[in-house]
Structure 1
């Protein structure tokens, strides 16, 4: 019995070391550049910073903004376009990078879907002071329309949040950690189909355990 326990312990240690080695190798890979394709992801822009990862997780760390009028974002999106995709990803805003000024609440990780280009997509942002679901559309002032938002549920930096998007076009449901955040219906020229995007603005963000759960 004692020998079996030792064998199990050794096997567990070996497994843990193997997982650690894989993670270390992941972050040693060469950073990705604007326009490059890596597996399922294409880099739209790096924000003059670091973007790297694999099919299931991506780290985005744009260049640090050191003045209030300066901002840097990073965005990767799936190479494949999806019709009414249901998907999930865990978002962890590790650090807000702005220096010399207070960071803005929206400077966190964003999950995007039905993305056609940098000016047409839906997004959810989990902020330290609340949350928002928006539509990027040049037809609106500032090219953005807020579809839903709230401040009763906050999302401090440095924690994992499991974000799930399900679609019954044009109705969309956003769930966080198994609890529904909001169900919205876009009745003004709704977008249908497109890529899935992972975005950050002036924050270091890890997106991990990405999975497509189905398509309509």
Structure 2
């Protein structure tokens, strides 16, 4: 951030009211040679390595948080009596089973650094799972899920409880870090060896 030229960071406000992402604008900014990561011309490789970590390698640690979130939904279902609904029970059990599959997949790929599709498979598994968990959390809470904990007015930022924040944030799970469509394309081309789409076709 401390270099010649101007760097402007603009937070992107999300549905949750928070800003976990930013737009960064570089105006005449010039990095010193010792600050270049990955060597000259190596930026794309560095970016892809970071995205690979975001998509897949980090999922073992991420799953600890997922298990806690699932536990909260199970407790809420028991407390509200929603667990008496056979559909809710089936969805809870399915989410539990899918979380185990994610863990086994992550453990399986720990020692296989040459598997080009592993991060994409992991991203496809956890992104949809997390969205379905957010949806089930809202279902379990019923009509109360639509009411915020604070005073909602046009002049003040709205407040969300932990369930509402989880639901709204999870809407982006299948987009950030590369959309589901991008992950499927990576698997198709780099793992299955299917032909690449022709350039310039819309």
**TM-score of the superposition, structure 2-length normalised?**
0.25
Q: Which has the higher Rg, Structure 1 or Structure 2?
A: 2
Higher relative contact order (CA 8 A, sep 6+): 1
- The structure richer in helix per residue is 2
**TM-score of the superposition, structure 1-length normalised?**
0.24
- The structure richer in strand per residue is 1
